[in-house]
A and B are shown apart, each in its own frame.
Chain A
Amino acid sequence: MSSVLPVIQPALQPQPRTDVDFDEQLAAHGIELRAATVESLQVNVGKLCNQACKHCHVDASPARTEIMTRETAETVIDAVRRFHMPVVDITGGAPELNPSFRYLVREARAAGARVIVRHNLTVMFEAGQEDLPEFFREHAVEVVSSLPYFLEDRTDAQRGQGVFKKSLIALRRLNAAGYGKAGSGLTLDLVYNPVGAFLPPPQASIEADFKRELMNRYGIAFNHLYTITNMPIKRFLDYLRRSGNEERYMRKLVEAFNPTTVDGLMCRSLVSVDWTGRLYDCDFNQMLELGVAPELPQTIADLDPARFARRRIMTGSHCFGCTAGAGSSCGGAVAVNS
Protein backbone atom coordinates (compact mmCIF):
# COMPACT_ATOMS: atom_id res chain seq x y z
CA MET A 1 0.00 0.00 0.00
CA SER A 2 1.41 3.42 -0.90
CA SER A 3 2.03 5.77 1.99
CA VAL A 4 -0.48 8.51 2.65
CA LEU A 5 0.76 11.82 3.95
CA PRO A 6 -1.73 14.15 5.60
CA VAL A 7 -2.21 17.51 3.92
CA ILE A 8 -2.81 20.24 6.47
CA GLN A 9 -5.93 22.28 5.72
CA PRO A 10 -7.23 25.40 7.39
CA ALA A 11 -10.68 23.93 8.12
CA LEU A 12 -11.62 23.28 11.73
CA GLN A 13 -13.26 19.90 11.13
CA PRO A 14 -11.49 16.65 10.14
CA GLN A 15 -10.73 16.32 6.44
CA PRO A 16 -9.82 13.17 4.52
CA ARG A 17 -6.14 12.36 4.13
CA THR A 18 -4.63 12.46 0.64
CA ASP A 19 -1.08 12.49 -0.65
CA VAL A 20 -1.99 15.12 -3.27
CA ASP A 21 -2.94 18.71 -2.45
CA PHE A 22 -6.08 19.88 -4.30
CA ASP A 23 -4.71 23.35 -5.08
CA GLU A 24 -1.49 21.84 -6.42
CA GLN A 25 -3.55 19.51 -8.60
CA LEU A 26 -5.41 22.53 -10.01
CA ALA A 27 -2.15 24.40 -10.54
CA ALA A 28 -0.66 21.42 -12.37
CA HIS A 29 -3.51 21.81 -14.86
CA GLY A 30 -3.11 25.58 -15.05
CA ILE A 31 -6.42 26.18 -13.25
CA GLU A 32 -7.17 28.97 -10.79
CA LEU A 33 -10.45 28.25 -9.02
CA ARG A 34 -12.55 31.40 -8.81
CA ALA A 35 -16.28 32.03 -8.78
CA ALA A 36 -17.84 33.12 -12.07
CA THR A 37 -21.05 34.65 -10.75
CA VAL A 38 -23.50 34.52 -7.85
CA GLU A 39 -26.53 32.84 -9.37
CA SER A 40 -27.77 30.96 -6.36
CA LEU A 41 -27.99 31.47 -2.60
CA GLN A 42 -27.95 28.09 -0.88
CA VAL A 43 -29.54 28.44 2.53
CA ASN A 44 -28.84 25.71 5.06
CA VAL A 45 -31.45 26.30 7.74
CA GLY A 46 -29.90 23.85 10.18
CA LYS A 47 -28.95 20.34 11.16
CA LEU A 48 -32.29 19.12 12.49
CA CYS A 49 -33.60 16.18 10.46
CA ASN A 50 -36.12 13.37 10.96
CA GLN A 51 -33.55 10.95 9.49
CA ALA A 52 -29.89 10.15 10.25
CA CYS A 53 -28.50 8.88 6.94
CA LYS A 54 -25.19 7.05 7.03
CA HIS A 55 -23.57 9.21 4.34
CA CYS A 56 -24.82 12.59 5.59
CA HIS A 57 -22.19 15.32 5.21
CA VAL A 58 -24.17 17.53 7.59
CA ASP A 59 -24.28 14.96 10.41
CA ALA A 60 -27.95 15.86 10.63
CA SER A 61 -30.35 13.93 12.88
CA PRO A 62 -33.44 14.31 15.10
CA ALA A 63 -31.09 15.04 18.00
CA ARG A 64 -29.53 18.17 16.46
CA THR A 65 -30.75 21.51 17.75
CA GLU A 66 -28.81 23.97 15.57
CA ILE A 67 -31.42 25.71 13.40
CA MET A 68 -31.77 29.14 11.82
CA THR A 69 -33.73 31.73 13.83
CA ARG A 70 -36.48 33.90 12.36
CA GLU A 71 -34.21 36.94 12.68
CA THR A 72 -31.51 35.29 10.54
CA ALA A 73 -34.14 34.08 8.06
CA GLU A 74 -35.31 37.69 7.69
CA THR A 75 -31.72 38.80 7.02
CA VAL A 76 -31.49 36.11 4.33
CA ILE A 77 -34.70 37.33 2.69
CA ASP A 78 -33.45 40.90 2.88
CA ALA A 79 -30.37 39.85 0.89
CA VAL A 80 -32.53 37.94 -1.63
CA ARG A 81 -34.63 41.07 -2.18
CA ARG A 82 -31.75 43.54 -2.33
CA PHE A 83 -29.73 41.55 -4.81
CA HIS A 84 -32.60 40.04 -6.83
CA MET A 85 -31.09 36.62 -6.20
CA PRO A 86 -32.13 34.41 -9.16
CA VAL A 87 -32.17 31.13 -7.22
CA VAL A 88 -32.73 30.31 -3.55
CA ASP A 89 -31.80 26.71 -2.74
CA ILE A 90 -33.04 25.65 0.71
CA THR A 91 -31.44 22.69 2.45
CA GLY A 92 -30.71 21.25 5.90
CA GLY A 93 -31.19 18.81 7.71
CA ALA A 94 -34.79 18.54 6.74
CA PRO A 95 -35.43 22.24 6.09
CA GLU A 96 -39.19 21.85 6.48
CA LEU A 97 -38.71 21.25 10.23
CA ASN A 98 -37.46 24.81 10.70
CA PRO A 99 -40.35 27.05 11.84
CA SER A 100 -39.15 29.73 9.38
CA PHE A 101 -39.13 27.37 6.38
CA ARG A 102 -42.47 28.42 4.90
CA TYR A 103 -41.65 32.08 5.49
CA LEU A 104 -38.42 31.64 3.51
CA VAL A 105 -40.22 29.94 0.62
CA ARG A 106 -43.04 32.48 0.43
CA GLU A 107 -40.81 35.52 0.65
CA ALA A 108 -38.16 34.22 -1.75
CA ARG A 109 -40.88 33.46 -4.29
CA ALA A 110 -42.45 36.88 -3.71
CA ALA A 111 -39.02 38.39 -4.41
CA GLY A 112 -39.04 36.65 -7.79
CA ALA A 113 -36.49 33.90 -7.05
CA ARG A 114 -36.70 30.31 -8.26
CA VAL A 115 -36.91 28.25 -5.08
CA ILE A 116 -35.37 24.79 -4.80
CA VAL A 117 -36.05 22.68 -1.71
CA ARG A 118 -33.86 19.69 -0.82
CA HIS A 119 -36.74 17.55 0.44
CA ASN A 120 -36.03 14.15 1.99
CA LEU A 121 -39.56 12.78 1.26
CA THR A 122 -40.15 11.16 4.67
CA VAL A 123 -40.48 14.50 6.47
CA MET A 124 -43.91 14.63 4.84
CA PHE A 125 -45.05 12.15 7.51
CA GLU A 126 -44.02 14.36 10.44
CA ALA A 127 -46.74 16.22 12.37
CA GLY A 128 -47.83 19.39 10.59
CA GLN A 129 -46.04 18.51 7.33
CA GLU A 130 -48.84 16.53 5.68
CA ASP A 131 -49.70 19.33 3.26
CA LEU A 132 -46.18 19.76 1.88
CA PRO A 133 -47.03 18.63 -1.68
CA GLU A 134 -49.78 21.23 -1.86
CA PHE A 135 -47.57 23.89 -0.27
CA PHE A 136 -44.80 23.14 -2.77
CA ARG A 137 -47.28 23.29 -5.65
CA GLU A 138 -48.82 26.55 -4.45
CA HIS A 139 -45.41 28.21 -4.53
CA ALA A 140 -44.06 26.37 -7.61
CA VAL A 141 -41.14 25.07 -5.54
CA GLU A 142 -38.66 22.86 -7.40
CA VAL A 143 -38.34 19.68 -5.35
CA VAL A 144 -35.07 17.75 -5.21
CA SER A 145 -35.25 14.49 -3.27
CA SER A 146 -32.72 11.83 -2.37
CA LEU A 147 -33.46 8.29 -3.43
CA PRO A 148 -30.19 6.39 -3.61
CA TYR A 149 -31.67 3.44 -5.46
CA PHE A 150 -34.89 2.02 -6.83
CA LEU A 151 -34.61 -1.04 -4.57
CA GLU A 152 -35.51 -1.19 -0.90
CA ASP A 153 -32.41 -2.86 0.54
CA ARG A 154 -29.90 -0.34 -0.78
CA THR A 155 -32.04 2.68 0.02
CA ASP A 156 -32.69 1.53 3.60
CA ALA A 157 -29.03 0.59 4.06
CA GLN A 158 -28.12 4.24 3.53
CA ARG A 159 -31.13 6.15 4.81
CA GLY A 160 -32.59 3.92 7.52
CA GLN A 161 -35.05 1.09 7.97
CA GLY A 162 -38.42 1.77 6.38
CA VAL A 163 -37.31 4.88 4.48
CA PHE A 164 -37.77 3.32 1.04
CA LYS A 165 -41.43 2.40 1.57
CA LYS A 166 -42.22 5.84 3.02
CA SER A 167 -40.35 7.49 0.15
CA LEU A 168 -42.50 5.68 -2.40
CA ILE A 169 -45.69 6.90 -0.69
CA ALA A 170 -44.29 10.45 -0.62
CA LEU A 171 -43.30 10.28 -4.30
CA ARG A 172 -46.80 9.11 -5.21
CA ARG A 173 -48.25 12.06 -3.28
CA LEU A 174 -45.95 14.46 -5.12
CA ASN A 175 -46.97 12.87 -8.44
CA ALA A 176 -50.63 13.24 -7.45
CA ALA A 177 -50.00 16.96 -6.84
CA GLY A 178 -48.62 17.19 -10.37
CA TYR A 179 -44.90 16.93 -9.57
CA GLY A 180 -42.83 15.04 -12.13
CA LYS A 181 -45.73 14.91 -14.58
CA ALA A 182 -45.20 16.13 -18.14
CA GLY A 183 -46.81 19.49 -18.81
CA SER A 184 -47.43 20.34 -15.14
CA GLY A 185 -44.48 22.71 -14.90
CA LEU A 186 -43.77 21.23 -11.46
CA THR A 187 -40.26 19.83 -11.19
CA LEU A 188 -39.43 16.73 -9.17
CA ASP A 189 -35.77 15.75 -9.42
CA LEU A 190 -34.14 12.82 -7.66
CA VAL A 191 -30.64 12.39 -6.31
CA TYR A 192 -28.59 9.21 -6.55
CA ASN A 193 -25.78 8.72 -4.03
CA PRO A 194 -23.66 5.56 -4.12
CA VAL A 195 -24.52 3.30 -1.20
CA GLY A 196 -20.90 2.85 -0.19
CA ALA A 197 -17.33 3.80 -1.03
CA PHE A 198 -17.52 3.93 -4.80
CA LEU A 199 -18.17 6.51 -7.51
CA PRO A 200 -21.57 7.07 -9.11
CA PRO A 201 -22.33 5.57 -12.53
CA PRO A 202 -22.80 7.80 -15.60
CA GLN A 203 -25.79 10.05 -14.87
CA ALA A 204 -27.67 9.49 -18.14
CA SER A 205 -27.46 5.72 -17.88
CA ILE A 206 -28.63 5.45 -14.26
CA GLU A 207 -31.35 8.06 -14.89
CA ALA A 208 -32.75 5.83 -17.63
CA ASP A 209 -32.74 2.87 -15.18
CA PHE A 210 -34.52 4.90 -12.50
CA LYS A 211 -37.17 6.17 -14.93
CA ARG A 212 -37.87 2.67 -16.21
CA GLU A 213 -37.80 0.88 -12.86
CA LEU A 214 -39.68 3.47 -10.80
CA MET A 215 -42.44 3.61 -13.43
CA ASN A 216 -42.63 -0.15 -14.07
CA ARG A 217 -42.35 -1.28 -10.47
CA TYR A 218 -44.17 1.53 -8.63
CA GLY A 219 -45.86 3.80 -11.20
CA ILE A 220 -43.73 6.80 -10.14
CA ALA A 221 -42.58 9.59 -12.48
CA PHE A 222 -39.92 12.24 -12.01
CA ASN A 223 -38.01 14.75 -14.14
CA HIS A 224 -34.25 14.34 -13.74
CA LEU A 225 -31.86 12.21 -11.75
CA TYR A 226 -28.70 13.82 -10.38
CA THR A 227 -25.72 11.67 -9.47
CA ILE A 228 -23.82 13.06 -6.50
CA THR A 229 -20.53 11.66 -5.21
CA ASN A 230 -20.40 10.91 -1.50
CA MET A 231 -18.30 13.64 0.06
CA PRO A 232 -15.58 12.36 2.39
CA ILE A 233 -16.48 14.53 5.36
CA LYS A 234 -18.44 14.12 8.58
CA ARG A 235 -20.56 10.95 8.79
CA PHE A 236 -19.33 9.50 5.48
CA LEU A 237 -15.71 10.13 6.47
CA ASP A 238 -16.41 8.36 9.76
CA TYR A 239 -17.77 5.42 7.76
CA LEU A 240 -14.71 5.40 5.48
CA ARG A 241 -12.41 5.31 8.49
CA ARG A 242 -14.38 2.68 10.41
CA SER A 243 -14.60 0.43 7.37
CA GLY A 244 -10.94 0.83 6.37
CA ASN A 245 -11.92 2.44 3.06
CA GLU A 246 -10.55 5.97 3.50
CA GLU A 247 -7.23 5.51 1.71
CA ARG A 248 -8.70 3.52 -1.15
CA TYR A 249 -11.64 5.92 -1.63
CA MET A 250 -9.45 9.01 -1.57
CA ARG A 251 -6.99 7.45 -4.00
CA LYS A 252 -9.93 6.70 -6.27
CA LEU A 253 -11.11 10.33 -6.11
CA VAL A 254 -7.62 11.70 -6.76
CA GLU A 255 -6.93 9.32 -9.65
CA ALA A 256 -10.31 10.20 -11.19
CA PHE A 257 -9.55 13.95 -11.08
CA ASN A 258 -11.09 15.45 -14.22
CA PRO A 259 -10.03 19.04 -14.99
CA THR A 260 -13.02 19.55 -17.31
CA THR A 261 -15.34 19.41 -14.29
CA VAL A 262 -13.93 22.59 -12.78
CA ASP A 263 -15.86 25.04 -14.98
CA GLY A 264 -19.17 23.56 -13.80
CA LEU A 265 -18.43 23.31 -10.07
CA MET A 266 -21.26 24.66 -7.95
CA CYS A 267 -18.92 26.88 -5.91
CA ARG A 268 -18.41 28.97 -9.05
CA SER A 269 -22.04 30.09 -9.10
CA LEU A 270 -23.41 29.91 -5.56
CA VAL A 271 -22.89 31.29 -2.09
CA SER A 272 -23.82 29.13 0.89
CA VAL A 273 -25.16 30.53 4.15
CA ASP A 274 -25.41 28.57 7.39
CA TRP A 275 -27.99 28.62 10.17
CA THR A 276 -26.11 31.42 11.95
CA GLY A 277 -25.82 33.59 8.82
CA ARG A 278 -22.15 32.85 8.11
CA LEU A 279 -21.09 32.57 4.44
CA TYR A 280 -19.24 29.75 2.67
CA ASP A 281 -18.29 28.70 -0.86
CA CYS A 282 -20.45 25.55 -0.65
CA ASP A 283 -22.43 23.39 1.77
CA PHE A 284 -19.44 21.04 2.19
CA ASN A 285 -17.11 23.86 3.23
CA GLN A 286 -19.88 24.96 5.58
CA MET A 287 -19.81 21.61 7.37
CA LEU A 288 -16.02 21.86 7.66
CA GLU A 289 -16.36 25.40 9.05
CA LEU A 290 -14.18 26.57 6.17
CA GLY A 291 -15.55 30.08 5.58
CA VAL A 292 -15.21 32.27 2.50
CA ALA A 293 -11.83 33.91 1.85
CA PRO A 294 -10.93 36.15 4.80
CA GLU A 295 -10.77 39.30 2.67
CA LEU A 296 -14.54 38.99 1.98
CA PRO A 297 -17.56 39.85 4.16
CA GLN A 298 -18.26 36.84 6.34
CA THR A 299 -22.01 37.09 7.03
CA ILE A 300 -25.24 37.29 5.04
CA ALA A 301 -25.95 40.76 6.43
CA ASP A 302 -22.84 42.02 4.61
CA LEU A 303 -23.17 39.94 1.43
CA ASP A 304 -22.09 41.85 -1.65
CA PRO A 305 -22.56 39.76 -4.82
CA ALA A 306 -20.34 42.14 -6.80
CA ARG A 307 -17.40 41.27 -4.53
CA PHE A 308 -18.30 37.58 -4.40
CA ALA A 309 -18.67 37.06 -8.13
CA ARG A 310 -14.94 36.68 -8.87
CA ARG A 311 -13.86 35.56 -5.41
CA ARG A 312 -11.22 32.91 -4.88
CA ILE A 313 -12.68 29.64 -3.63
CA MET A 314 -11.48 28.06 -0.41
CA THR A 315 -10.53 24.42 -0.97
CA GLY A 316 -9.48 21.25 0.82
CA SER A 317 -8.84 17.61 0.08
CA HIS A 318 -12.61 16.98 0.13
CA CYS A 319 -12.86 19.00 -3.11
CA PHE A 320 -11.56 15.94 -4.99
CA GLY A 321 -15.10 14.61 -4.41
CA CYS A 322 -16.54 17.23 -6.77
CA THR A 323 -13.91 16.82 -9.52
CA ALA A 324 -13.80 13.02 -9.78
CA GLY A 325 -15.01 11.35 -12.95
CA ALA A 326 -17.98 13.20 -14.40
CA GLY A 327 -17.85 15.58 -11.44
CA SER A 328 -20.47 16.25 -8.81
CA SER A 329 -22.56 19.20 -7.76
CA CYS A 330 -25.95 19.98 -6.26
CA GLY A 331 -27.17 19.62 -9.85
CA GLY A 332 -25.47 16.28 -10.41
CA ALA A 333 -22.67 15.46 -12.86
CA VAL A 334 -20.94 18.48 -14.36
CA ALA A 335 -18.90 16.98 -17.23
CA VAL A 336 -20.22 14.97 -20.13
CA ASN A 337 -17.07 12.90 -20.51
CA SER A 338 -15.50 11.31 -17.48
Chain B
Amino acid sequence: MAYYEEDELERFSEIGKHRPDLFEKFMAWYQACQEEGALSRREKALIGLAVAHALQCPYCIDAFSQSCLEAGSNMEQMTEAIHMASALRGGAALIHGLQAHKSVKRVSM
Protein backbone atom coordinates (compact mmCIF):
# COMPACT_ATOMS: atom_id res chain seq x y z
CA MET B 1 0.00 0.00 0.00
CA ALA B 2 1.36 3.40 -0.98
CA TYR B 3 0.65 6.58 0.96
CA TYR B 4 -0.47 9.84 -0.68
CA GLU B 5 -1.38 8.70 -4.19
CA GLU B 6 -2.45 11.37 -6.68
CA ASP B 7 -5.99 10.11 -7.27
CA GLU B 8 -6.82 10.04 -3.57
CA LEU B 9 -7.79 13.71 -3.56
CA GLU B 10 -10.51 12.92 -6.09
CA ARG B 11 -11.71 10.07 -3.88
CA PHE B 12 -12.26 12.39 -0.92
CA SER B 13 -16.03 11.78 -1.06
CA GLU B 14 -15.42 8.14 -0.06
CA ILE B 15 -14.95 9.48 3.47
CA GLY B 16 -18.71 10.06 3.41
CA LYS B 17 -19.35 6.32 3.13
CA HIS B 18 -19.58 6.23 6.91
CA ARG B 19 -21.60 8.91 8.68
CA PRO B 20 -22.49 10.74 5.41
CA ASP B 21 -24.39 13.31 7.47
CA LEU B 22 -21.17 14.53 9.03
CA PHE B 23 -19.34 14.56 5.71
CA GLU B 24 -22.13 16.57 4.06
CA LYS B 25 -21.99 19.13 6.86
CA PHE B 26 -18.24 19.35 6.49
CA MET B 27 -18.46 19.82 2.70
CA ALA B 28 -21.13 22.53 2.96
CA TRP B 29 -18.98 24.40 5.47
CA TYR B 30 -15.81 23.87 3.44
CA GLN B 31 -17.42 25.14 0.22
CA ALA B 32 -19.04 28.12 1.97
CA CYS B 33 -15.68 29.17 3.43
CA GLN B 34 -14.20 29.47 -0.05
CA GLU B 35 -16.90 31.69 -1.53
CA GLU B 36 -16.11 35.31 -2.29
CA GLY B 37 -16.88 37.40 0.80
CA ALA B 38 -15.07 40.11 2.74
CA LEU B 39 -11.98 38.32 1.42
CA SER B 40 -11.57 37.62 -2.29
CA ARG B 41 -11.25 34.09 -3.65
CA ARG B 42 -7.64 34.87 -4.44
CA GLU B 43 -6.89 35.88 -0.84
CA LYS B 44 -8.64 32.78 0.44
CA ALA B 45 -6.69 30.55 -1.93
CA LEU B 46 -3.42 32.06 -0.69
CA ILE B 47 -4.49 31.50 2.92
CA GLY B 48 -5.35 27.92 1.98
CA LEU B 49 -1.94 27.44 0.38
CA ALA B 50 -0.16 28.82 3.44
CA VAL B 51 -2.14 26.65 5.86
CA ALA B 52 -1.60 23.61 3.62
CA HIS B 53 2.14 24.10 3.99
CA ALA B 54 1.91 24.64 7.73
CA LEU B 55 -0.05 21.39 7.95
CA GLN B 56 2.27 19.77 5.40
CA CYS B 57 -0.75 18.20 3.72
CA PRO B 58 0.18 17.06 0.18
CA TYR B 59 -3.46 16.88 -0.88
CA CYS B 60 -4.12 20.45 0.22
CA ILE B 61 -0.85 21.74 -1.27
CA ASP B 62 -1.81 20.28 -4.67
CA ALA B 63 -5.39 21.55 -4.48
CA PHE B 64 -4.53 25.06 -3.32
CA SER B 65 -1.60 25.47 -5.72
CA GLN B 66 -4.11 24.95 -8.54
CA SER B 67 -6.65 27.22 -6.83
CA CYS B 68 -4.07 29.98 -6.52
CA LEU B 69 -3.15 29.78 -10.22
CA GLU B 70 -6.81 29.82 -11.25
CA ALA B 71 -7.46 32.77 -8.97
CA GLY B 72 -4.71 34.71 -10.76
CA SER B 73 -1.82 34.46 -8.29
CA ASN B 74 1.74 34.11 -9.49
CA MET B 75 4.67 32.16 -8.04
CA GLU B 76 6.06 35.26 -6.37
CA GLN B 77 2.84 35.76 -4.40
CA MET B 78 2.43 32.05 -3.67
CA THR B 79 6.02 31.82 -2.44
CA GLU B 80 5.48 34.77 -0.11
CA ALA B 81 2.43 32.99 1.34
CA ILE B 82 4.49 29.81 1.85
CA HIS B 83 7.22 31.84 3.56
CA MET B 84 4.63 33.39 5.87
CA ALA B 85 3.45 29.94 6.93
CA SER B 86 7.01 28.68 7.31
CA ALA B 87 8.09 31.75 9.27
CA LEU B 88 5.18 31.32 11.65
CA ARG B 89 6.01 27.66 12.11
CA GLY B 90 9.67 28.58 12.74
CA GLY B 91 8.71 31.40 15.10
CA ALA B 92 6.25 29.19 16.95
CA ALA B 93 9.01 26.62 17.51
CA LEU B 94 11.56 29.24 18.51
CA ILE B 95 9.36 31.01 21.05
CA HIS B 96 9.16 27.68 22.89
CA GLY B 97 12.84 28.18 23.63
CA LEU B 98 11.52 30.27 26.54
CA GLN B 99 9.98 27.10 27.95
CA ALA B 100 13.40 25.48 27.82
CA HIS B 101 14.91 28.51 29.48
CA LYS B 102 12.31 28.28 32.28
CA SER B 103 12.83 24.57 32.65
CA VAL B 104 16.59 24.94 32.88
CA LYS B 105 16.27 27.88 35.26
CA ARG B 106 13.99 25.91 37.57
CA VAL B 107 16.74 23.37 38.29
CA SER B 108 19.72 25.66 38.03
CA MET B 109 21.59 27.54 40.78
Contact surface of A with B, Cβ cutoff 8 Å: 1-2, 149, 151, 154, 194, 196, 198-202, 205-206, 209
**Cβ contact within 8 Å between A200 and B74:** no
Total number of A-B contacts with CB less than 8 angstroms? 30
Known contacts A196-B69, A198-B66; decide if A205 and B40 are in contact (CB<8 Å): yes
Given contacts A1-B10, A200-B70, 4 further A-B contacts (CB under 8 A): A149-B74, A198-B66, A198-B69, A201-B71
Contact surface of B with A, Cβ cutoff 8 Å: 6-7, 10, 40-42, 66, 69-72, 74, 76
**Cβ contact within 8 Å between A209 and B72:** yes
Q: How many angstroms between the C-alpha atoms of A205 and B43 in the bound complex?
A: 12
**Cβ contact within 8 Å between B70 and A199:** yes
**Cβ contact within 8 Å between B42 and A205:** yes
Measured CB to CB, the closest approach of chain A to B49, in angstroms, equals 14
**Cβ contact within 8 Å between B74 and A201:** no
**Cβ contact within 8 Å between A151 and B74:** yes
B contact face: mostly helix, strand, loop, or mixed = helix
Known contacts A1-B7, A205-B40, A205-B42; decide if A198 and B74 are in contact (CB<8 Å): no
A contact face: mostly helix, strand, loop, or mixed = loop
Please give me the 6 A-B residue pairs with the lowest Cβ-Cβ distance, nearest first: A201-B72, A206-B72, A198-B69, A1-B7, A199-B70, A201-B71
Q: How many angstroms between the C-alpha atoms of A205 and B41 in the bound complex?
A: 10
Q: How many angstroms between the C-alpha atoms of A149 and B77 in the bound complex?
A: 14
The residue that B72 contacts in the complex, of A1, A151, A202, with Cβ under 8 A, is A202
Cβ contacts A to B, 13 pairs, < 8 Å: A2-B10, A151-B76, A194-B69, A198-B70, A200-B70, A201-B42, A201-B69, A201-B71, A202-B41, A202-B72, A205-B71, A205-B72, A206-B72
